[in-house]
Amino acid sequence: MFGKGWLVVAVWLFSTGVLGKSVVPSNVSTVKPNPAPVVIAAAKVVKDVPEITVMFSPEDNVQAEIVRVLGQATKTIHVQAYLLTNNAFTNALIAAHKRGVAVKVLLDEKRTFEASALDAAALHAVGIPVKLETAYDNAHNKLMLVDSGLSRAVLITGSYNFTVSAQRKNAENVLFIRQAPLLMAKYFSQWQAHDKAAKPYDAKAIRLANSKHF
């Protein structure tokens, strides 16, 4: 079928090693098989394993439990509240302040002008730093950080406003979270950010606003 010329060419191709090889144009990239995958040990992730107590008002006495926890504070109490009108909490904060606990309070400005004025004034009068949040329509956080940074730290948060109505009339929930340093640090960080943006309590402005309001 083929002439002697073809046979000569074939012999030459075999002898030079061209036949039997895959000839790939220079402008076409080749893909080599991936090497065996390298197994890297997963990074150790530290997670909180918290102890959580949940309470519901009005059936549970949330007020008494909050007062009890505040009474056990030894270092710090950081409060962030939409409403603070329950004397039981105000008195517990003042008592903590008097025994040397560093108490700091953030309140919603509008609600302080309208409802929390007496409690804010009482805290301010004994030297507890009170600041008002003005950047939001509603500064609606409700939390207390007790002894943040210590092993016995407690985070109190939920739907429960710090009012008498929250205990006696409303359906509310509260979490008491312990042994959760990462979560506590996150909450404390946001508390600090809100504190930085808030303005100092002005007793004269509050009195003036209340005199006009009522």
Which residues does the annotation mark as catalytic?
140, 142, 147
Q: Is it true that the peptide bond before 25 is cis, omega within 30 degrees of 0?
A: no
H runs (alpha helix) in the chain: 4-16, 62-72, 87-98, 109-114, 117-125, 164-168, 181-197, 203-213
**Dihedral-angle region of residue 127 (phi above 0 means left; psi in -120 to 50 means alpha; beta otherwise):** left
Question: Residue 143 burial (CB < 10 Å; 0-12/13-18/19+)?
Answer: buried
Cβ 111 vs Cβ 83: under 8 Å: yes
Amino acid at 61: N
Cα 18 to chain centroid distance, Å, stands at 69
Compute the CA torsion angle 143, 147, 150, 151 (nearest 10 deg).
-70
